[in-house]
Structure 1
């Protein structure tokens, strides 16, 4: 069983992960996630055989997903964890259409001549 004192004084980050650039849909964009901060003195080392990074912190690779921000905050408070809320990043995709290529804009070179 995990050490109760170590789990009580952990700090977690509550955030909404951004969409992967290779995804066109927003399938995982509505969920909120909890990640644990790296524990000071967790004894990180590199495995000499494979070259992987290892750690004595058993909660470092654990991620929890929630339907809403309020659910994640409630869970962190219920467990007694210190948390900080990272505001979601909103990416604006500029509208593009084919006619944008032919619009006249003063002082902007529209066609780059190479010869």
Structure 2
């Protein structure tokens, strides 16, 4: 039985915006260990499910899909966001 994890899409480190962070992602866990290709040296495996990421509007929708398709999934809770409130003038204290 395939296993997967469901998590909330994190904010991009390259931007301060929070667009698309409300989505939930179902991602399959790797079943094969990665190994180096002898010719190129790139790491890879024969597991093609590793390339699949399914996006859902809610965690419940992702769980419903997993149970319907017979996928054993666990939900990774979203980390608590801490707001760092400061004024621009605080840079010059």
Q: Which of residues 84, 87, 90 is equivalent to 2:80?
A: 90
Higher normalized contact order (CA 8 Å, seq sep 6+, divided by chain length): 2
The structure 1 segments of at least 4 consecutive aligned residues displaced by more than 4 Å after TM superposition are: none
Structure 1, unaligned stretches of length 5 or more? 1-8, 103-115
> 1:91 & 1:51 partners in 2: Cα distance?
39
Structure (1 or 2) with the greater strand fraction: 2
> Kindly tell me: are residues 96 and 10 of structure 1, through their superposed partners in 2, closer, same or farther at Cα, counting changes over 3 Å?
same
TM-score for the superposition, normalised by structure 2: 0.87
> Kindly tell me: are residues 76 and 98 of structure 1, through their superposed partners in 2, closer, same or farther at Cα, counting changes over 3 Å?
same
Q: Which of residues 57, 62, 67 is equivalent to 1:77?
A: 67
Q: Tell me the residue number matched to 1:18.
A: 10
Structure 2, unaligned stretches of length 5 or more? none
Aligned residues between the structures: 92
TM-score for the superposition, normalised by structure 1: 0.72
